[in-house]
Amino acid sequence: MKTQGGALHLRILKIGWVLGLISLGLNALLLVFSLIFGTSPLANVSVAIGFAGMDIRRAAEGPEVAMILPVAFNASSRGRPASTDHKLENLRANLLIPIESRTFFSGSLAIIMILTAGGLWIISQLRYVFQNVADGQPFAAGNAEKIHRIGWGVIVLEILRSAAVLFWSYSSMFTFEGATFVPTLDIGKATIICGLIILAIAEVFREGSRLRDEQSLTI
């Protein structure tokens, strides 16, 4: 018998899966298009695509192709006298980066697709677990292994995301009104901790499954 909460979680996960699959498909089409025709045809409709979504518009300066990508910087500005130096740390933003290189555009799309595919894989593991929970079998065989995979998936995906952000940050280094922006590693410590917690929860489910099996053998 399915629980109401479990059924709701399954619907939410299904919606997330479908949206992620659509995003993956669109990025795949754009990747193939860019590899065959380059980015010049896309400039005619002023496309901006990235982690923050897709924006198709007519730019004020004319047609352009840009990517909306997450970046992470530390910034410093040197004033006069030296005592007026200022520093800003851990700046995070979605930066609109004009695209001049087809290689950068295609490579960035490939990175986004890899991260999206990783997210879809995690959702697929969650759907399996919540399906069993909704059926009233939280300690069903396989749940612990799926949760264990989710924990490692969260950790690995966060490391890949932080590496991608570092790459995009180095690719868009700039100065602004005397301030120098230096790329920095943007690894989510909270996300890593969440992944470790999920690994611990997997062990709880593994023990619960073992106790359930022992109980079924003694009956």
Kindly list the distances between the CA atom of residue 194 and the CA atoms of 1, 117, 124, 155, 166, in Å, as whole numbers in the listed order.
30, 20, 18, 8, 22
Cα 183 to Cα 167: distance, rounded to the nearest angstrom = 9
Instruction: For residue 53, give both structure tokens.
Output: 């979504």
Per-residue pLDDT reduced to its tens digit, 85-143: 567 777 888 888 888 788 888 899 999 999 999 999 999 999 999 888 877 787 777 88
Alpha-carbon distance 215 to 120, whole Å? Answer: 35
**Model confidence, pTM:** 0.82
In which band, very low, low, confident or very high, does the pLDDT at 55 lie, cut at 50, 70 and 90?
low
What is the DSSP secondary structure assignment for residue 84, as one 8-state letter? G
Average pLDDT over residues 47-66: 63
Question: Under a CB-based contact definition with an 8 Å cutoff, are residues 43 and 63 in contact?
Answer: yes
Residues paired with 183 in a beta bridge: 73
Q: Which pairs with CB-CB distance under 8 Å and at least 24 residues apart come from 56-59? A: none
Higher-confidence residue: 219 or 211? 211
User: What is the rounded average pLDDT of the residues 192-200?
Assistant: 95
Lowest mean pLDDT across 32-36, 137-141, 205-209: 137-141
Give the residue among 75, 87, 100 at the shortest CA–CA distance from 184: 75
Other Cβ atoms less than 10 A from the Cβ of 197: the count is 12
Token pair listed for 215: 């109980």
